[in-house]
Chain A
Amino acid sequence: MSFKEFNKALKKNKLLGLKCGDCGAINVPPKMVCSECTGTNLEITELSGKGSVKTFTTNYVAAEGRECEAPYIIVMVELDEGPWIMGNLIDIAPNKVDMDLIGKRVVMGVKVFPGDKYSAGDMARPLFSFEA
């Protein structure tokens, strides 16, 4: 699966991964080989987009061109299928998060970063909110 396919699906709120036919591992984002066993017998599979927060930060200093986004919360989420994925968290004020966030259940939505002069086009990113 190419970045283009992954990105296109994500924009429709579909998180695609690769299921390894040899060891059963789920790989996200896409790779040429399974990151567990290096097998190439990989099949595209749609993931739930649900998981729990492993770690986070509220970022107050953004990169050039993205200053207006700050402050924002970045999370690393362990998906129910196993892989970790980086995204943003909404539903809570950036200055209100603390260590209690770790372990919280979240569900994926999506937002598109339009890219900047150093990016080869736009990129969708997971935008998590708390599971109801």
Chain B
Amino acid sequence: MKKVAVIGVAQTNFTAAQDKTEVELFAEAALEAMAKSNIKPRDIQALFVGNVLGDFSEGQGMVQAFAAENIGCFNVPANRYEGACASASMAVRDAFMWVASGFYDIVLAGGVERAATMGTPLATRTFAMFSDSRYEFPSGITFPGVFAMLAHLYASHYNVPLKKLKEQMAQVSVQSYKYGMHNPKAQMRKEVTIEDVLNSFMVSTPIQLHDCCPFSDGGSALILASEDAAKKLTDKPVYITGVGQASAGPLSSQKKYLPRIYSREVSSKLAYKMAGRTPDDIDVCELHDCFSIASIIAVESLGFFEFGTSGEAWMKGEAAIGGKVAINPSGGLKAKGHPIGATGGGQVYEIVNQLRGEVEPERLVEGAKIGMTDTLGGDGGTLVNIILERGW
């Protein structure tokens, strides 16, 4: 297998509903990633695009083919990935494998979504499509509803009083908003307090508005290159050293492990093993904080903190920059935004910039050498982890 580097990354602003089409949003990120990688459209041999709901948000299926033509990558193979919120991470992982195999030298991977454009009722309906449509959606399950049930289960399973857990969840959001303030591409740029979170609108008990990430529009793009190609194009290659992906069935089928998400444990173990790393080696992690409880659950399955204890870790600053592991210095999905088809690409964008030291000083994880992304689709149906390391 060849070594694979990420040589250039780009992300549009993640925003509330806006006017650009998905092709335009993706093109904006793609052209910037190409410029940063010192390549032209003709250098790209294939395109891998995460996109989930283009059919619903603007009546556009097969966005990858139109995007390829739009950015001058004429007639290259263009693939669309749909794994709910993990779509772009699937695209990056597959792009990685094609380059690692030696089949391609340079590929473009990323994603795009206009989730905010759909408005809350339709977005809520379409996001609920990532639950089991025949056996679970009839009960009125929504995406916040899934994590709300996991929060109550977490409290009962680990004997954490709900009031205490809610404060810990609020602190997760407070930290994300704090970093998002310093991220110029973030959607939510204001500070909140634990009180603000606990006083916000109830969505699905015990999850309140400020426990939830927003619906977002945005695009992300990365250029992946073989080691040989990368050396000619950049003096700051960031290597993908480990990848993992796993799947799972409906929430009720995951009963043996809940509130743990077993697909995450399978996926992250694969990534750690491939990279030859352990959780202790990770300096910075962009993880899937679609809801505040999701962060608490994620860090435990990723091996950063003991099961049932990670809420405390946030309260003590151990999940902050300067703590044991820096979690979501971008502001995470919570503050940065969650344009689902683009999200995983946005996470890699952040880690690459962190490892290169190219982020705002207020949210820089100084000296970070190894980073990780964690992207969850639906209620655990798709899970992707990627480990990235400084290559210079």
**Which A residues form the contact surface with B (CB < 8 A)?**
3, 7, 29, 35, 54-67, 69-70, 72, 74, 76, 78, 83-88, 97-99, 102, 113, 116, 118-119, 123-126
Q: With A57-B205, A74-B145, A118-B125 given, is the CB distance from A86 to B136 under 8 Å? A: yes
Interface of B is mostly: helix
Counting residue pairs across A and B whose Cβ atoms lie within 8 Å, the total is 115
| Separation of A86 and B135 alpha carbons in the complex (Å) | 8
A69–B204 Cα distance when bound, in Å, is 13
> A56 CB to closest chain B CB, in angstroms?
6
Give the residue of B134, B162, B204 whose beta carbon is less than 8 angstroms from that of A59.
B204
Q: How far apart are the CA atoms of A16 and B195 in the complex, in Å? A: 47
Query: Given contacts A86-B135, A86-B141, is CB(A60)–CB(B124) below 8 Å?
Result: no
Which one of A29, A35, A69 has the highest number of Cβ atoms from chain B below 10 Å of its Cβ?
A29
Distance A39 CA – B300 CA, assembled complex (angstroms): 33
How big is the B interface, by class? Answer: 35 or more
Residue numbers in B under 8 Å from A98 (CB-CB) = 162
Interface residue ranges of B238-278 to A (CB < 8 Å): 249-253, 255
B252 touches A74 (CB 8 A): no
A63 CA / B125 CA spacing, docked (Å) = 4
| Residue from the list B133, B135, B148, B162 in contact with A57, Cβ < 8 A | B148
**Which of the candidate stretches B26-34, B151-159, B307-315 sits at the interface with the other chain?**
B151-159
From B136, B140, B148, B162, A66 is in contact (CB under 8 Å) with B140
For the complex formed, measure the closest distance between the CB of B142 and the CB atoms of chain A, giving whole angstroms.
6
A92–B133 Cα distance when bound, in Å, is 26
Q: Is B17 interfacial (CB 8 A cutoff)?
A: no
Instruction: Give Cα distance in the complex from A28 to B255, angstroms.
Output: 12
On whether the beta carbons of A61 and B120 are closer than 8 Å, the reply is yes
A61 and B255 contact, Cβ closer than 8 Å, known pairs A55-B149, A113-B138: no
User: Closest approach, in angstroms, between the C-beta of A72 and any C-beta of chain B?
Assistant: 6
Within B94-147, which residues are at the interface with A (CB < 8 Å)? Answer: 120-122, 124-125, 128-129, 133-142, 144-145
27 A-B pairs (CB sep. < 8 Å): A29-B134, A57-B149, A57-B204, A57-B205, A59-B144, A59-B145, A59-B148, A60-B202, A61-B124, A61-B144, A61-B203, A62-B140, A63-B121, A63-B125, A64-B121, A74-B139, A76-B149, A76-B153, A86-B141, A88-B139, A99-B152, A99-B156, A113-B137, A113-B140, A116-B125, A118-B129, A123-B134
